[in-house]
């Protein structure tokens, strides 16, 4: 099982292939935001990679990061568009606490949505 490390929070074993956003919710049990429900529309599921940033990126994530002007921030990626298929370390930089939102968002489904079309950054 891949290991997920969250800086200053802990290490967690994650079922291979699980969406990173759902691993943050289920395994790490943090209050990760995912306002659009994991559909690559909001960017609140963002994390910042410290190690193990995937080389692959979905077309939807790439486009959204570009549209929101987020491509220049090192390691910034959308956890709803990433599968836990290797060890990784991230900083949890977008959480419900302090956000002013009433909830974290609808639970994302098990599969990457829109259906993943993989490309490179």
Residue 67 Cβ, how far from ligand FES at the closest point, in Å? Answer: 11
Residue 62 Cβ, how far from ligand FES at the closest point, in Å? Answer: 12
Q: Is 103 helix (H, G, I), strand (E, B) or coil?
A: coil
According to the binding rule CB under 6 A, does residue 22 interact with ligand FES? no
For ligand FES, give the closer residue by CB, 41 or 95. Answer: 41
Residue 80 · residue 18 · CB < 8 Å: no
Residue 101 Cβ, how far from ligand FES at the closest point, in Å? Answer: 12
How crowded is the C-beta side of 33, counted as CA atoms within 13 Å?
A: 21
Residue 19 CB contacts under 8 Å (≥ 6 apart), including other chains: 38, 79, 80, 82, 83, 84, 108, 110, 111, 112
| Contact stretch for ligand FES (CB under 6 A) within 7-15, 31-39, 69-77, 84-92 | 31-39
According to the binding rule CB under 6 A, does residue 58 interact with ligand FES? no
């Amino acid at each position: 099982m891949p290991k997920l490390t969250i800086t200053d929070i802990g290490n967690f074993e994650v079922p291979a292939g699980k969406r990173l956003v759902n691993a943050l919710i289920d395994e790490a049990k943090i209050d990760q935001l995912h306002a659009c429900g994991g559909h690559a529309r909001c960017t609140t599921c963002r994390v910042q990679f410290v190690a193990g940033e995937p080389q692959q990126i979905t077309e939807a994530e790439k486009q959204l990061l570009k549209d929101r002007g987020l491509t220049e921030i090192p390691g910034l990626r959308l956890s709803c568009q990433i599968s836990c298929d290797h060890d990784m370390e991230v900083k949890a930089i977008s959480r419900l606490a302090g956000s002013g939102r009433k909830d974290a968002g609808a639970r994302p489904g098990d599969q990457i949505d829109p259906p993943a079309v993989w490309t490179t950054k």
